[in-house]
Amino acid sequence: MRKVHQSGSAMRVRVCVTPAALGILGLVLLWEQPVAAYFDPGSGSLIYQALLAGLLGLGFTFRRLIGLFARARGRTAPPPLGPPAPPPDPPHAAP
């Protein structure tokens, strides 16, 4: 269960852990069994790379969806990432 507390201008979310969840976690840890599996360094780095790429992809997708919903509600989208573009050159006067 999540409880939302608002103090001042910041909003905090507190996650309450129930005793049942702690009991299930304890049972899982007590009943561990040996597994005949092997991760070589290549497999570990592949799993790490896939997880990292998935998290970064979710971040970019989430940012794009926020912009889409903001435009649908009539608000401006969040500013783009990166440095601002330089101002255009003024037009040259003819001699």
Q: Give pLDDT, residue 50.
A: 93
**Where are the domains positioned within the chain?**
2-31+42-72
Give average pLDDT by consecutive 10-residue segment, the chain, 95 residues.
53 70 86 76 84 91 84 69 77 69
Q: Which pLDDT tens digit goes with each residue over 58-83? A: 988 888 888 888 877 776 666 667 77
Radius of gyration of the chain (CA): 25
pTM of the predicted model as reported, rounded to 2 decimal places: 0.35
Asked whether the beta carbons of 16 and 3 are under 8 A apart, the reply is yes
Closest among 49, 47, 25, 52 to 37, alpha carbons compared: 47
6: left (phi over 0), alpha (psi -120 to 50) or beta: beta
